[in-house]
Structure 1
Amino acid sequence: MVYKIFVELFKIWKPYVFPSPISVIETFVRLLSDNTLTVAMIATVRRMLIGYLIAAILGVVVGLAIVKSEFLDKNLRPLILGFQTLPSVCWLPFAILWYGLSEKAIIFVTAIGSIFSITLAVESGIKNVNPLYIKAAKTMGATGLRLYLNVIFPASLPFVISGMKQGWSFAFRALMAGEMLFATKGLGQVLMVGRDLADMSQVISVMIVTIVFGLVIEKAIFGPLENQIRIRWGLKNT
C-alpha cells in the first residue's frame, strides 16, 4: 500500500506497469504453491532437452559433412550462414503447417533455432585446428577415425563448446516463442497468461525464472566444461 501511494504521489510509474518486488515475490510463491510454475518448468525443460539434443546431433553431422566435402563447403555453408541470421520465430508458420499445433511443432522450432550455430561452430572448430597437431599425429601413425578422435575433435572443442552454449541460448529463445503462441503448458504459456491478464508480477516472475535457469545451466554445465578445456590446453592455471 505504501508503495502504491508513493508511486501515485510522485507519478513515477503505475503499479500495474511495473509491480513492486513484494508483489512479484507473492506471485512467485502463488505460482509455486499451486504447481503452475513446477508443471510449466517440467514441460519447458523436456521440450528444451529434446529439441537441443536433436540440434546437437544434426549440427555435428552437418558440420563434419561441410568439412569433408568441398562442394558442401562452397554451397551449403553460405546458406547456413543466411539461416543463422534469420530469427527463429520466422520458422513458426512452417512448424504449424507441417506439424499443426502440437509438441512436434515446438520441438521443431527449438531445434531449428540452434542447429545452425552448432553446425558453424563444429565447422569452424575443425578448420581452425593447428596444422602442427595434425602433422605430428600423422607422423606417429594416426589416420582416419583415430586422427579425428584423438587430435582433431579435442583440439576443436573450445570452438564447439562456445557454439553449443550459443546454440542453447538460441534454442531457449525459440522455445519460449513457440510456447507463447500455442503451448498449453510451459513457461512461455504462463508468461502469456500474465500478459493477457495484465498481471505484470506474473510476467516478471517468469522472466526471473528464465534468467535463473540460464545461469544454472551456465554454472553447472557449460562453465565447468569451458574451464576444463582451457586448463587442458594450458590457457588457464589449475
Structure 2
Amino acid sequence: MTEIKLYDKLDVLVLPVILIIIWYIICDLLMLIPSYMFPGPIEVVNSFINLLVSGKLLKDIIDTLYKVFLGLFLAAVVGISLGIILGWSRRLERLCSLIISVLRPIPPIAWIPFSILWFGIGTAPAVFIIFLGCVFPILVSTIDGVHRTRGVLIEAAQSFGVSNLQMLTEVILPATVPYIVSGLKVGIGIALMCTIAGEMIGSSSGIGYRILTSTSLFDTGSTVVGMLVIGVIGIIFDYIFTKIQEQIFW
C-alpha cells in the first residue's frame, strides 16, 4: 500500500519532467528559439541561483507575500462581516444586490489607473487591487453559507431562546466556516494574479516588478523565475487551504 501511494505521488511529476526535457531540447540543444525570446532551462536555473544568492529573490517574495496577506486580510474582514450581515438580513441583501452585481464582474485590473491616482506608486495600490479581487469571492461564499445554514439549526437554536447575537456567533458563523474557507481559497489565487498585475504597473518592488524590469532588460531567465515562483506559491497556498478544508469537513 505504501508503494502504491508513493507511485501515485510520483505520477504527478511525470508530465512536468517530460515538458522540461522537451523544453531543454528545443531551447538549449537545438536552439530553435533565441534566448531573448524565451530562455532555456539552464538559463532559468542560472538566473534562479543568481537571484537567490544575491538575496533579491527572497526580498521579492517577502514584498509580494506582504501585499497578498494584507490585501487578503482586509478583504476577509470586510467580506466575512458584510457577508454574514447580508446573508442574515434579506432586506439588506436586496438593497445591496444590484451594487454587488455591478461591481463584482469588473476586473480588479481595471481599477489600476484609479489606484495609482488615489494611492500613488508603492504598496498601497497593489493592496487595493488585491482587496478588490478577493472581497467578492469571500463575500458571495459567506452569504451562500449563511443561506444554507437557515433551517433545522436555526429553528433548534430559536427553540432554546437564544438571542440574535448568540445566533450569529454560535450558530451561523461556525456553520459558515467551510464556505468562508472556500471563498478564501478562491481569493488567494485571485490575490496572486492581482498582485503581479499591480506590481507591474503601480509598485516598485515584488515579483511582478521583478518580472517587468527583467523583461525590459531582456533578462528572460529572471522573468521565467518570477513566473515559476508565483506558480509554486500558488501551489503551496492551494495545498494549505485544501488541508484546512479536509480538517473542517472531516
Structure 2 CA distance for partners of 1:5 and 1:111, relative to 1, 3 Å: closer
Residue pair 1:113, 1:174 contacting (<8 A) in 2 also: yes
Aligned equivalents of 2:145, 2:64: Cα separation in 1: 30
Match of 1:206 among 219, 226, 236: 226
Structure 2 alignment gaps of length 5 or more = 1-23
Aligned equivalents of 1:111, 1:130: Cα separation in 2: 29
Give how far 1:190 is off.
0.6
Aligned equivalents of 2:185, 2:113: Cα separation in 1: 26
Number of positions where the alignment pairs a residue of Structure 1 with one of Structure 2:
227
- What's 2:83 paired with? 63
- What's 1:153 paired with? 173
Residue pair 2:125, 2:203 contacting (<8 A) in 1 also: no
- What's 1:82 paired with? 102
Q: State the superposition RMSD in angstroms.
A: 2.1
Are 2:70 and 1:50 equivalent residues in the alignment?
Answer: yes
Give how far 1:205 is off.
0.7
TM-score by length of 2: 0.83
Aligned equivalents of 2:154, 2:25: Cα separation in 1: 69
Match of 2:247 among 205, 222, 228: 228
User: Which runs of structure 2 are paired with 1:8-157 in the superposition (5 Å)?
Assistant: 8=31, 12-157=32-177
Moved more, 27-36 or 145-154: 145-154
Residue pair 2:109, 2:198 contacting (<8 A) in 1 also: yes
Letter in 2 for 1:229: I
- Percent of residue pairs identical: 28
Aligned equivalents of 1:2, 1:155: Cα separation in 2: 53
Structure 2 CA distance for partners of 1:199 and 1:76, relative to 1, 3 Å: same
Letter in 1 for 2:30: V
Give how far 1:192 is off.
0.5
Aligned equivalents of 1:137, 1:111: Cα separation in 2: 35
Query: 1:144-176: CA deviations, max 9, x gaps?
Result: 222222222222222211111111111221111
Aligned equivalents of 2:245, 2:164: Cα separation in 1: 27
Aligned equivalents of 1:37, 1:46: Cα separation in 2: 14
Aligned equivalents of 2:203, 2:124: Cα separation in 1: 11
Runs ≥4 residues deviating over 4 A: 1-5
Structure 2 CA distance for partners of 1:65 and 1:150, relative to 1, 3 Å: closer
Structure 1 alignment gaps of length 5 or more = 232-238
